[in-house]
Structure formats: C-alpha cells, structure tokens
Chain A
C-alpha cells in the first residue's frame, strides 16, 4: 500500500482491520501490531501488541499512528479467531449484567 492512506476511505481501511500490519511513518520508522481500527476522521491507526501473558491479567501495549504521518501500510498476516476476539475486546467496557428476569 503506497498510496495516500488518509484518502482511502472506510471500506478500504476495513480490509486492514484484524490483520497484523507493518506501518511506515515518519523518518524510516517502522511499527508492527494487530490493527484494531482506523479512525475515519483522522485516518489514525490503532495497533495492539499483546505481550506475554501475566498472572491475573493480560497486558497489551497500544500504538496509535497518526494518519497524516503514515507513509506505507503492509499486511503481514491475518488474525486467527482467538486473536480477533481478544483484539476486538481490548477496549470494550466490562460486561454488565441485565437486571431483567
């Protein structure tokens, strides 16, 4: 992907979601991570990197690359189902239980 990232639009950005991507931004800087989402307003990418699992909780480091700085985005691999679920649940609020019977 060499063309102008911010101009791609939601349908094109969607094709990168849940994929492991390599993003070039700024001067020869390269970042990798699972693409959670692309902000349709600023074209910023949210990349999540799952670290080692720790007891009592999973830590993930998140990198947001600003859309205006993106030079190149390359897909490395697709996520398996477990990774997809884990990725998409990253920022969801904790489940609330309904009080209805």
Chain B
C-alpha cells in the first residue's frame, strides 16, 4: 500500500487536516465496499480480460478480493481470490 503522509513531513501543522481528510475518504470507501457485498461485479483486468463474479470481501489494504461464482472463460469457479494488482477497474450497480 501507499506510504503515509508526505505533505506533513514538510509542515507538521497540516497533520490534523490531512488525517481528517484521510478518515473521511476512507470511511466513504469502506461504505462503498460494504454495499458491494453479495452483488454482481464486473471486473476489467489487464489484457482486456472481463470477468463477472459475486463480491464477498476485501482485505484491509485492498490487495485481494474474495469472490464467489467467478465466471472464467473455462468455467465457473465457485470461490476465488482475485489479486487487485491484476485489476484495472470494476463496476456494479448501486
């Protein structure tokens, strides 16, 4: 994941502001992840690979997604982990 606070090394007074911004952004992202649980998600991966799966969970540092019923070109994988490094983006309907 990403190193913490670069801006604040230069100006310690910015630290509380930056921490607040970080928490607001993270909370919003976690709520988004939460709402994705058990929804059908389309993953866009490198080399124009597109797969669909039911989203279950993510680890805290967003390195892996746990999914069910992953539709691959050679069949349906009941349970799977997707490496986030392989994913460009994913979409779902809220």
**Contacts from A to B (Cβ < 8 Å):** 6-7, 9-14, 17, 25-27, 29, 31, 36-44, 46, 48, 59-69, 88, 90-93
Contacts and interface: CB of A to CB of B under 8 A. Distances in A.
Taking residues whose C-beta sits less than 8 angstroms from the other chain, chain B's interface range is 35 or more
A91 B33 CA distance: 9
30 contacts: A10-B22, A11-B14, A14-B25, A25-B89, A26-B88, A26-B89, A29-B88, A29-B89, A37-B28, A38-B25, A39-B62, A41-B61, A42-B1, A44-B62, A59-B93, A60-B93, A60-B94, A61-B92, A61-B94, A66-B88, A67-B2, A68-B85, A69-B87, A69-B88, A69-B89, A88-B28, A90-B32, A90-B94, A91-B28, A91-B32
Given A26-B46, A39-B26, A46 B32 contact: yes
